[in-house]
Structure 1
């Protein structure tokens, strides 16, 4: 965490102090720069054409193919973050994956951002908002350009608009063609216990992560713009994203959907909204957990109770009395299809949990489930096994009790009957 914080701080300082960077001469995070100041003037005069001409003149050299963009190999793109993270050149080859990029990789800001990102970093005051809108108007393909540094890799203007909690700019970006499936997988947005496990692969644009995690960290937001909106409780943005094709069942590198992310951040309001817009309750993540079992795994009691109520099937209600059935597939420790122990079931997770918070999930439903299992199966099995053991013990006791002692055998010439005759011994048994 210390190294990560140092990298973030260094990047922010460079954004503020690197006046020599060509991008920051046009506009910087403080709202200054040639184009930023011109945008202020245009707000007063209304001469947008003047700003458009300057944008075309100043920005075009930063773009591939004069703003038409081009397809680049994934190796070329991720080599930037790989060298930043490891200090070594990226040498792996063999992937045929390509990705569309408009803003030149060698003309980025201090942390791999474009001029459009700088506008959002400034907080979008009136002049920077105008500049962002005119940038997209003149060069529409820059809208999906993303950060290329290791800390913020994949973050687009759409992610930033959601983080700024600005539905108006989010609506503008979506209407202008912003991609709703772009994933933000930078180290800054990775779970704390997975940050050091990030490894680049030529078969994937995004870093590979260690499978086992507790999803710790306040900035693990699920990569997709839709998940960002869910974490930040941006209901309007969430609906707009779904209307433009975002799927609440998309899974991030950990296999988590919007429902998993809402569970991690204990946001029941967005959980319900996602359900109403088509999210599925029983999607498994990489660790084989559904939102319900994830709530049990993280000992999120309130979310667990909410999800259990959502999964139940109510047959009838009369006043305060209710008849409801709870599906046992992810609750009980017995796998319904195979009869084997399901270690990822809610009951198993709670019983074998390593914190006292897990025990708080036992009262009510799970406690009743354990009681029903005991009265229906456990008690019968226990008494059956106990009865068999008692019978076995009595028989063995009788056998040993009536068995002649060595002195009796020697005095009376008694030989014990043996079913297995040892090799090399020729002895005829005598029967009494």
Structure 2
């Protein structure tokens, strides 16, 4: 992982992806297929020792592609960031595009003529304006470029970058020759979205050419230059890339596991460490490279060695002054980063390096380990430390995290269990059991509500007495002993199961019909009173007539 051969292969694959245009003028000088106008003249110069033709070509043809005849030009970082942001948005959909944040201030370079002889005075003026173009985080507001922006290749490269893509002896010789005439091309970077910040020094390290790296360093290559390109970004961070007009680096999401093989740490020193190049690493340190320099994610060389699982380079960096206590933007040290990424071998080795041996006698030894980054309790505030090694391992989501629970972490867990966790769990379990028993008892013996009586039509009631039922034979009343006990409830369920579905519907209808019947009876009763009185009056009249008829009959009989 992170080998030089795989990195060069990835670079070549990217070149062959069909995203590069070959109709640009720069490729007339040196193209992507090993050809170009300069190479034949260089071969002629090598074989004949006559450099006049190649010299004349460099002084005439190549000079047309340079600012101020090769002396360079200062450009604001804001302008370069806008170009990078524009290229990124052209690849994205309309809803995925992100405009650069922040505001760009006035461009003081507009008032200077950079085509004259006063470039040195301009740099002195910038020193007074913003500390020599350096911000508080070693970030420049201005960048000096030599190759014209509109004359660059598809990857934003200069002719030096184009030559170094081939990594051949003839192309390296051409690089030396060009730098003799235009030395400022040495620190001229790629400006495309994918390779932004990639310098010739970065490319020489990727090509594993130690001789070329030494030559560049002797000529004044910047050992602290940074590569922000998307190609060298972690795979799970590429979608979050956002620009700001106030600085050159790219803003990235902190939710990452640093997936992919091409995240190499931005700095040349990190590139050498990730590509397992100890000679280049020492060479860069000899030219004052900073082993504790942090990239956009806050990672140092030690963090990068953990990500790429390179213990040999980790120990070398540690011997050369790299700090184990530096934390990145996720508040992770190299040790806790190994725990987060479940790198068991790296975690064990770093733990041993951080330990302090107290005594050793034969195979027996006593070692003290600092618990600041291991235990889950913050040593200063006493709160839970979610960035601790133990917390990251316990809450890890992979099988590899469980494999880390050996040795010191296992011993630490047992000690914490015996000290207080065991007692706390017994107390919590006992309290929960008591609560559960009380809750179930209260629920079982709760009073019967009026709603329960209505729903069951009195089969379950609050009085604990037999309640007359209505599901017997026609004209028969059955008394069911449904009381406020579990046995009674079971008996009621059995009784309900035996009831016919039609009877259940009739029971519901009967409840609704009671009020209707009572209302009808009340109306009928009023009407019946009048009817009875009318009938009594008619009967009385008829009775008089009958009496008179009877009297008449009796009189006839007497006569």
Indicate whether the TM-score tops 0.5.
Answer: yes
Deviation at 1:9, TM superposition (A): 5.1
Q: Greater CA radius of gyration, 1 or 2? A: 2
**SS of match in other structure, 1:117:** helix
Deviation at 1:84, TM superposition (A): 1.2
Does residue 212 (structure 1) correspond to residue 255 (structure 2)? The answer is yes
Task: Give the equivalent residue in structure 1 for 2:70.
Answer: 67
Taking structure 1 as reference, are residues 91 and 282 closer, same or farther at Cα in structure 2, changes over 3 Å only?
Answer: closer
**1:343 counterpart (379, 383, 386):** 386
Can you give the 5+ residue segments of structure 1 that lack an aligned partner in the other structure? 397-432
Can you give the 5+ residue segments of structure 2 that lack an aligned partner in the other structure? 1-9, 91-96, 108-140, 439-559
The question of whether the paired residues in 2 share the 8 Å contact of 1:148 and 1:154 is answered with yes
**SS of match in other structure, 2:358:** strand
Taking structure 1 as reference, are residues 303 and 30 closer, same or farther at Cα in structure 2, changes over 3 Å only?
Answer: same
Taking structure 1 as reference, are residues 204 and 386 closer, same or farther at Cα in structure 2, changes over 3 Å only?
Answer: closer
Task: Give the equivalent residue in structure 2 for 1:108.
Answer: 152
**2:327 counterpart (284, 301, 315):** 284
Does residue 179 (structure 1) correspond to residue 213 (structure 2)? The answer is no
Task: Give the equivalent residue in structure 2 for 1:428.
Answer: none
Task: Give the equivalent residue in structure 2 for 1:151.
Answer: 194
Task: Give the equivalent residue in structure 1 for 2:407.
Answer: 364
**SS of match in other structure, 1:99:** strand
Does residue 234 (structure 1) correspond to residue 271 (structure 2)? The answer is no
Deviation at 1:378, TM superposition (A): 3.6
**SS of match in other structure, 2:248:** strand
Taking structure 1 as reference, are residues 138 and 370 closer, same or farther at Cα in structure 2, changes over 3 Å only?
Answer: same
Deviations 1:278-330 (A, max 9, x none): 11001111111111111110111111011101100112222222221110000
Deviation at 1:81, TM superposition (A): 1.8
**1:298 counterpart (310, 323, 341):** 341
**SS of match in other structure, 1:278:** coil
Supply the distance in 2 between the matched residues of 1:227 and 1:273 (Cα, whole angstroms).
Answer: 12
Supply the distance in 1 between the matched residues of 2:360 and 2:377 (Cα, whole angstroms).
Answer: 30
Structure 1 length as normaliser, TM-score? 0.83
Deviations 1:89-109 (A, max 9, x none): 979642472211111111101
Supply the distance in 2 between the matched residues of 1:106 and 1:79 (Cα, whole angstroms).
Answer: 14
**Residues 235-384 of structure 1 mapped to structure 2, 5 A cutoff:** 235-379=278-422
Supply the distance in 2 between the matched residues of 1:184 and 1:307 (Cα, whole angstroms).
Answer: 28
Deviation at 1:12, TM superposition (A): 5.4
**2:161 counterpart (101, 113, 117):** 117
Task: Give the equivalent residue in structure 2 for 1:399.
Answer: none
Deviation at 1:186, TM superposition (A): 0.8
The question of whether the paired residues in 2 share the 8 Å contact of 1:75 and 1:93 is answered with no
Does residue 81 (structure 1) correspond to residue 84 (structure 2)? The answer is yes
Taking structure 1 as reference, are residues 52 and 93 closer, same or farther at Cα in structure 2, changes over 3 Å only?
Answer: farther
Deviations 1:198-223 (A, max 9, x none): 11101111221112111001111111
How many residues matched?
A: 383
Task: Give the equivalent residue in structure 2 for 1:188.
Answer: 231
